[in-house]
Amino acid sequence: MTPSHTRRDALRLGAITTGAAALSAACGGGSNGSGKEIGIAIGNGISYAAFNVIKAKGWLEQELKGRTVSWRVISGGGTTRDALLSGKLQIGSSGLGPLLIGWDAGVPWKIVSSLNDMPLWLVAKDPKFRGLRDFKQGDQIAAVQPGSIQSVMLQKAAQQQLGDPHALDKNIATMAHPEALQALLGGQIAGAYTSPPFQFQAVEQGARKLVDSYELFGRHGFNVMAATEEYAEKNPDVLAAVHKTIARANDFIVKQPAEAAKILVAAEKGKISAAQYEKYLTYKGIEFTTTPHGLLKIAAFMKEIGVIKKVPGNWRDLAFDTVKKENGS
């Protein structure tokens, strides 16, 4: 089955309308990116643990004397893309799906640093959902947005289980991870394709794992930090500092997970215990790394199903010098 032209374009562009609306609310006023203020967009979940450490330690300000760092929490790589292009933010997070969709559409952005490799799960709580065949028309599955890495994973699973990667495209309900968890537990949606720790919390509260992205693609990256080529050319010191502090924070998380967990507890105002956060940070399969993994494999699948039109010749085509020497894929 081939999706309609309209549906294919919506998936390729990563829900631009949704991103633009969220952008206005999240970012407020803009900047051309050449001033002293550095706006950084991050998202929800332990994928951004490195930035919680960086913020708590003040490492980025130490590296960039005289600069002011401001932080925004934004849901979805499409929203990040719009913020970077408008100059409202200078560095932003994106999952691999939106990154590739933007690159394919000619967005002049590249990877400053990866943040991690993480398995991503589709979870459901209602006992009637045991596999993808159990989802019918109207059974909503939360994902950050169409074109998100979670929606790409759902398409891969649908290809394997249903013989049609687009079979559940219309079931996707755009929802940030925290809201998706609550909607799932409250019975408002049938499934949620989220990320750590939300998928772990769902299972702890009675949900079951239906899809594991590592079983679809092997180990792969989740989120990266991106910037536009124009901003990178003018501000190489900012890119270098962001990459350096992420590497430092990742090392801290790996070597001192208990201390890192305490920082996350403070950032989340005690919603989760330090012991639980430490368990999440050290979950098997999670790796905090600056090296992008799985870009080409995921891009090849996205091209195969018509979400993007081309595949990078080399993963480094999507990266700045900050990570080009690393052993990515």
**Is the pTM higher than 0.85?**
yes
Structure tokens at 50: 């490195």
Quote the mean pLDDT of the chain.
89
Whole-number Å distance between alpha carbons of 247 and 291:
10
pLDDT at 274: 93
Structure tokens at 244: 């350096």
pLDDT for 1:
36
- Judged against a pLDDT cut of 90, whether residue 187 lies above it is answered with yes
14-28, 73-87, 163-177: segment of lowest average pLDDT: 14-28
Residue range(s) of every CATH 3.40.190.10 domain in the chain: 5-117+220-324, 121-217
Query: What pLDDT, on a 0 to 100 scale, did the predictor assign at position 140?
Result: 98
d(CA 5, CA 7): 6
**Tens of pLDDT, residues 61-87:** 999 999 999 998 887 778 889 989 999
Q: Summarize the confidence of residues 246-271 as an average pLDDT.
A: 93
pLDDT, mean of residues 311-326: 97
Per-residue confidence (pLDDT) for residue 303, from 0 to 100: 98
Q: Which pLDDT value is given to residue 11?
A: 40
Q: Are strands 141-143 and 191-193 parallel, antiparallel or unpaired?
A: parallel
Q: Is the pLDDT of residue 52 over 80?
A: yes
pLDDT, tens digit (0-9, with 9 covering 90-100), for 152-162: 999 999 999 99
Percentage of the chain surpassing pLDDT 90?
81
Greater pLDDT, 271 or 9: 271
Q: What is the pLDDT of residues 192-235, one digit of tens each?
A: 999 999 999 999 999 999 999 999 999 999 999 999 999 999 99
CA 8/CA 6 separation, integer angstroms: 6
Residues 6+ apart with CB under 8 A from 192: 122, 123, 124, 141, 142, 175, 180, 181, 183, 184, 198, 199, 202, 207
* Span 83-112, average pLDDT: 94
Q: Which of 139, 88, 225 is nearest to 131 (CA)?
A: 139
DSSP string, 63-96: HSTT-EEEEEE---HHHHHHHHHHTS-SEEEEEH
Percent above pLDDT 70 for the chain: 89
Q: For the domain 121-217, what is the CATH code? A: 3.40.190.10
Q: Band the pLDDT of 272: cuts 50, 70, 90.
A: confident
Q: Mention every residue, 6+ apart, whose C-beta is less than 8 A from residue 213.
A: 119, 120, 121, 153, 156, 220
Nearest to 296 by CA among 100, 68, 130, 18: 100
Q: Which of 1-15, 42-56, 58-72 has the lowest mean pLDDT?
A: 1-15
pLDDT band of residue 3 (cuts 50, 70, 90) is very low
Task: State yes or no: pLDDT of 9 exceeds 70.
Answer: no
| Residue 28 pLDDT exceeds 70 | no
Query: Which of 26-30, 32-36, 314-318 has the highest mean predicted lDDT (pLDDT)?
Result: 314-318
Q: For 5-117+220-324, which CATH class?
A: alpha beta
Spatial contact of 156 and 124, defined as CB atoms under 8 Å apart: no
**What is the pLDDT at residue 24?**
36
